Amino acid sequence: MAATSRSSGAARAGDIRVDLLLIAGMVTPGSRVLDVGCGDGALLEYLAKNKAVDARGIEIGQDGVNACVARGLAVIQGDADTDLRNYPSGAFDFVILSQTLQATRNPREVLLELLRIGRHAIVSFPNFGYWKVRLSLLWHGRMPLTAAISQPWFETPNSHFCTIKDFVSLCGDLGITVENRFSVDGYGQKGLLGSSGLFANLLAEQSVFLLRKNGKPGA
Amino acid sequence: MGELKHAATVPAAGKSVTLGTLRLDCGVELGPITIAYETYGRLDAERRNAILVCHALTGDQYAASRHPLTGKPGWWSLMVGPGKVIDTDRFFVICSNVLASCMGTTGPKEVDPATGRTYGLTFPVVTIGDMVRAQAMLLDHLGIADLFCVLGGSMGGMQVLQWAASYPQRVFAAVPIAAAARHSAQNIAFHEVGRQAIMADPSWRHGNYLEEGTVPRAGLAVARMAAHITYLSEAALHRKFGRSLRGGDHVTYRLGPQLPEFEVESYLHHQGSTFVDRFDANSYLYITRAMDYFDLAAEHDGKLANAFIDTPTRFCVVSFTSDWLFPTSESRTIVHALNAVAANVSFVEIETDKGHDAFLLDEPELFNTLSGFLNGAAEHRGLKRP
């Protein structure tokens, strides 16, 4: 089961996590947006209020769904692995998958589905190439625990960790173009040292990608 | 309140209007039809704040006002009223008695103008679609071009779906609660048990009991008792009654039609007998049949999504975990069809052990969901806050 669930850690709209803010920055005002794994709806609410988007959400946790609907957001209970197939192709301008890809059963299929139903996909994930992760394995010989990878191996929903390089490679295989990317460093700030290449794969704790299918440029 | 007379002998209080004729799905031209209805709150100057509340099988127009026969508060008075979830300080709420029912709207217990006798079984078979067309006629009469929201549970939810499919431009928001896009075989089976119970009662007189001065009390009561079980859940029944005995700690080793041994039997007897005092047996036959016929996909080439192509309506679909009559899977089918046309839809499954009837009860999670959805939708429609 894909744990398409996240908590915003922010009490008010307009006061959201840096990675969510980076995602919001990639969304065109007035567009149609589907947030897969929208949690308590913090990002959707931010987008609806600040960017006037037509905001929809899918969330696996019933508590999150009920909280979203009670906030007036159009959210349904569902699972990234099974419920994207119900949507028609090209139904959204942006489909967002934040901190969820690594928890899906079949990340490759989910990625393709995101770009079938959306003209763009915005995907964020914890980077397994982050230096602290590498060091933890090398030095301690233990599975890493960081801010972005916060649960021990025996109870994490994350089953498909990847590095930024791995992800870029998969995008290449699937004919997906990376239009833009940001990294978030260990301090939760937008990464200053290079958004691409070796440095990002080493220094980024998390990464945010704006994707589209090859051959269809522009929004 | 004292001993009640049979529904058929007590005229319903409240508003009613006689409109034109209605061409039914069965082909019969019925009418002029009369619709009995109640309204709450005020229609705003732009006529944009109207909410139509659709009642369930045995409901009526008295959603938020005292029932004229039972004296009890309206069936949705927890939900509808000043400052409540369906806030009558903000919205203009209409609730009309469905076609074929028995609280003042044209139905089998009314007099057929062609014969001067009560319709009985000569009343034409109606559908959910017919009920909704009759409601649309009422809205035309009230001068309401489009509704802010259509909302209802169970059969009320079927009407909501029919409204959204038949009149998408007249429905800004739609809330089907504990509903389904078609009646399942199991539900048809339960309804048939109820109908057979009524028709097996010698006092039913082939549907002609009103003319012959009898009342099929036993049959209608049994129908209600059987149906009532389906509205609850095993957990709720156990919580309420368990195996408690009426006469203390010991069984009595007696049997008889009026000798309930267990508390749960006594409860069902009470449900049956009070129902008979307010409901018409033939109406029960007709309305259950209308629900059985309901299959929205069948009307659209077998594909439910086709019923909602290009829908401008915002939906909020609600189900309850312990509802085994209209289970969550039915709501999910509706949601999938709406997703397939990229409709604006919210879907909430509410955790409760109260079964199908949870939509009528005090369910804070339901109230939170609906008030959030209604406030969000009202904001999009530009309705003023009270």
Q: How many angstroms separate the CA atoms of B16 and B38, rounded?
A: 8
The CATH code belonging to domain B187-287 is: 1.10.1740.110
Percent of chain A with pLDDT over 70: 85
| Cβ neighbours of B346 in A, within 8 Å | 68-69, 73-76
Which residue range forms the structural domain that includes residue A115?
18-213
Q: Which of A17-31, A195-209, B50-64 has the lowest mean pLDDT?
A: A195-209
Give residue A197's pLDDT band: very low, low, confident or very high (50, 70, 90): low
Of residues A185 and B105, the one with the higher pLDDT is B105
Any idea what the CATH number is for the domain that residue A177 is in?
Answer: 3.40.50.150
Contact B350 A70 (CB under 8 A): no
The catalytic position among B65, B101, B154, B233 is B154
- A7, with CB counted inside 10 A (0-12, 13-18, 19+), is exposed
Q: Would residue A173 be called left, alpha or beta, if left means φ above 0 and alpha means ψ between -120 and 50 degrees?
A: alpha
> What b-and-e string marks burial along B54-72, b requiring 16 or more CB atoms within 10 Å of the CB?
bbbbbbbbbbbbebbbeee
Q: Please give the pLDDT value at position A188.
A: 65
Q: Please give the pLDDT value at position B208.
A: 97
User: Taking residues A23-44, what's their average pLDDT?
Assistant: 95
Q: Please give the pLDDT value at position A2.
A: 43
Give residue A198's pLDDT band: very low, low, confident or very high (50, 70, 90): low
Contact A62 B349 (CB under 8 A): yes
The CATH class given to the B7-184+295-381 domain equals alpha beta
The answer, yes or no, to whether residue A70 has pLDDT greater than 90, is no
Angle (CA) B49-B98-B290 rounded to 5° is: 125
Contact B346 A74 (CB under 8 A): yes
Q: How many angstroms separate the CA atoms of A122 and B90, rounded?
A: 39
Give residue B9's pLDDT band: very low, low, confident or very high (50, 70, 90): very low
The catalytic position among B130, B201, B323, B357 is B323
Q: Please give the pLDDT value at position B234.
A: 96
Q: Out of A71, A76, A92, whose CB is closest to B347?
A: A76
Q: Select the residue from A77, A93, A95, A116 to test the B interface by mutation, using most B Cβ atoms within 10 A.
A: A77
In a domain, A198, yes or no: yes
Of residues A14 and B178, the one with the higher pLDDT is B178
| Beta strand extents in A28-117 (DSSP E only) | 32-36, 54-59, 74-77, 92-98
Give residue A187's pLDDT band: very low, low, confident or very high (50, 70, 90): low
| Cβ neighbours of A87 in B, within 8 Å | 339-340, 342
Percent of chain B with pLDDT over 90: 91
Q: Please give the pLDDT value at position A11.
A: 38
Q: Please give the pLDDT value at position A191.
A: 64
Q: How many angstroms separate the CA atoms of B119 and A65, rounded?
A: 48
Token pair, residue B27, equals: 């082909």
Q: What's the pLDDT tens digit per position in B341-374?
A: 999 999 999 999 999 999 999 999 999 999 999 9
Of residues A99 and A94, the one with the higher pLDDT is A94
Per-domain boundaries in chain B: 7-184+295-381, 187-287
Q: Please give the pLDDT value at position A62.
A: 84
B→A contacts (Cβ < 8 Å), by residue, are: 314, 316-317, 335-336, 339-342, 344-351, 365, 368-369, 371-373, 375-377, 379
User: What average pLDDT does chain A have?
Assistant: 86
Q: What's the pLDDT tens digit per position in B49-89?
A: 999 999 999 999 999 999 999 999 999 999 999 999 999 99
Q: What's the pLDDT tens digit per position in B271-310?
A: 999 999 999 999 999 999 999 999 999 999 999 999 999 9
Q: Out of B336, B339, B375, whose CB is closest to A72?
A: B375
The answer, yes or no, to whether residue A200 has pLDDT greater than 50, is yes
Q: Please give the pLDDT value at position A203.
A: 86
User: Taking residues B310-331, what's their average pLDDT?
Assistant: 97
The answer, yes or no, to whether residue B108 has pLDDT greater than 90, is yes
Domain count, chain A: 1
In a domain, A6, yes or no: no
The answer, yes or no, to whether residue B92 has pLDDT greater than 90, is yes
| Cβ neighbours of A118 in B, within 8 Å | none
Q: Is B356 a catalytic residue?
A: yes
* Closest to A23 measured CA to CA, from A151, A120, A107: A120
Q: Nearest CA to CA, how far is A53 from chain B (Å)?
A: 12
CB-based contact A40:A8 (threshold 8 Å): yes
Query: Chain A: residue nearest B349 by CA?
Result: A62
Q: Please give the pLDDT value at position B3.
A: 36
User: What average pLDDT does chain B have?
Assistant: 94
Q: What's the pLDDT tens digit per position in A102-156?
A: 999 999 999 999 999 999 999 999 999 999 999 999 999 998 888 888 899 999 8
Q: Out of B317, B340, B365, whose CB is closest to A66?
A: B365
In a domain, A142, yes or no: yes
SS3 A127: strand
Q: Is B323 a catalytic residue?
A: yes
